Amino acid sequence: MEIKVLGTGCANCKRLLGNVNECIDRLKIQANVIYVTDLIEISKTGILRTPGLMINGKIVSYGKVNTIEEITELISRI
């Protein structure tokens, strides 16, 4: 599983990254977590507002900091 957190490095983006990592630890799953801060790369994804969250190449959330519980739910749908 590949999970990308897309953001400019702001506090909300870092908080989402922390929540993703905590979720992975709690679920005890293998995932490659990538933090993308390059604006050109972010724009290529089509995300209009950061922070953004992608799982296995699919945009699952943007413009908000998902809770650990919300991230768990998003992962379970994959």
Please state the domain extents for the chain.
2-76
Catalytic residue among 3, 5, 6, 13: 13
Residue 48, pLDDT above cutoff 90: no
Span 22-39, average pLDDT = 96
- CATH topology for 2-76? Glutaredoxin (3.40.30)
Identify whether 13 is a catalytic site residue.
yes
Q: Across the chain, what does the average pLDDT equal?
A: 96
Q: Quick check: 58 and 1 in contact, CB under 8 A?
A: no
The pTM of this model reads 0.94
Q: Which residues contact 29 (CB under 8 A, 6 or more apart)?
A: 1, 75
pLDDT interval class at 78 (50, 70, 90): confident
Catalytic residue among 8, 9, 10, 34: 10
pLDDT at 74: 95
For residues 56 and 33, give the distance between their C-alpha atoms in angstroms, rounded to a whole number: 10
